[in-house]
């Protein structure tokens, strides 16, 4: 995954401050080491390699190796970098997990919606053929295994049952059947 430049900048911003602070400390130690070496070992040639307080100073090449300081600085830099990378990876993992959970929830909702749509379609077909049917009769047709025992599964009768809500909604929206007008018969007396 490619990260935006702002994230990369944030990763190294704290490390850069530590590097600056350590570099200024190292420069100060370097100057004090050079001064101490000149005072203590002033009579040695320029090619002499001096060991002083854990620092290796090679005056012939004009190089100063602050081994302890830069080793610690490198360790600090890499541990901070590794920590930032772990934090970013953890956030990425959490984001992927949240995304997966949201997709699972959406799939579950879609499955529930499709199931209720199938039930609604069955009810509509059933009510077209049985206009005066009751909820219990529809359930007996929907679940014939319950009709054999003569008792409905109690899960269908609990409040908030989606089957009952669908039944009530469809029955409420269906036009009431109309009877043809009755013909009045006259009774003729003889």
Q: Is residue 49 part of a domain?
A: yes
Q: What is the pLDDT of residues 34-64, one digit of tens each?
A: 665 555 444 444 434 444 444 455 544 444 4
Same domain as 113, residue 88: no
Q: Is residue 66 part of a domain?
A: yes
Which residue pairs, CB below 8 angstroms and at least 24 apart, start in 78-82? 80/14, 80/15, 80/18, 81/11, 81/12, 81/15
Q: Is residue 185 part of a domain?
A: no
The domain boundary residue, chosen from 66, 97, 128:
97
Q: Is residue 90 part of a domain?
A: yes
Structural domain for 157, as ranges: 107-173
Answer yes or no: are the C-beta atoms of 84 and 11 closer than 8 Å.
Answer: yes
Q: What is the pLDDT of residue 160?
A: 74
* Confidence at 25, pLDDT banded by 50, 70, 90: confident
Q: Is residue 180 part of a domain?
A: no
Q: Is 79 exposed, middle or buried (0-12, 13-18, 19+ CB in 10 A)?
A: exposed
Three-state SS at 179: coil
In the chain, the number of structural domains is 2
Same domain as 111, residue 82: no
Q: Is residue 178 part of a domain?
A: no
Same domain as 14, residue 84: yes
pTM over 0.75: no
Same domain as 78, residue 125: no
% the chain with pLDDT above 90: 15
Same domain as 14, residue 64: yes
Q: What is the pLDDT of residues 140-181, one digit of tens each?
A: 777 777 666 666 666 677 777 787 788 888 887 776 655 554
Same domain as 77, residue 34: yes
The domain boundary residue, chosen from 75, 97, 119:
97
Q: Quote the CA–CA distance of 89 and 78 in Å, as a whole number.
A: 16
Residue 2: pLDDT over 80: no
Same domain as 89, residue 13: yes
Q: What is the pLDDT of residue 119?
A: 86
Q: What is the pLDDT of residue 44?
A: 46
Q: What is the pLDDT of residues 73-126, one digit of tens each?
A: 667 777 878 888 999 999 999 999 999 999 999 999 999 899 889 988 988 888
Q: Which two tokens stand for residue 34?
A: 């050079």
Same domain as 47, residue 29: yes
Q: Is residue 182 part of a domain?
A: no
Same domain as 42, residue 63: yes
């Amino acid at each position: 995954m490619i990260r935006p430049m702002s994230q990369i900048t944030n990763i190294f911003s704290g490390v850069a401050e530590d590097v600056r602070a350590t570099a200024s400390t190292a420069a100060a130690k370097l100057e004090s080491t050079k001064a101490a070496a000149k005072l203590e070992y002033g009579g040695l040639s320029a090619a002499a390699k001096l060991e002083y307080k854990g620092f290796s100073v090679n005056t012939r090449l004009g190089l100063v190796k602050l081994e302890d300081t830069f080793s610690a600085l490198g360790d600090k830099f890499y541990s901070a970098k590794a920590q930032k990378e772990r934090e970013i990876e953890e956030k990425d993992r959490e984001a992927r997990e949240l995304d997966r959970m949201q997709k699972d929830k959406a799939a579950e909702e879609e499955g529930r919606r499709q199931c209720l749509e199938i039930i609604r379609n069955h009810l509509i077909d059933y009510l077209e053929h049985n206009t005066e049917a009751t909820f219990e009769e529809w359930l007996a047709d929907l679940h014939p295994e319950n009709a054999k025992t003569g008792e409905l599964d109690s899960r269908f009768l609990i409040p908030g049952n989606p089957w009952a809500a669908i039944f009530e909604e469809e029955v409420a929206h269906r036009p009431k059947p109309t009877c043809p007008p009755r013909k009045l018969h006259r009774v003729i007396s003889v």
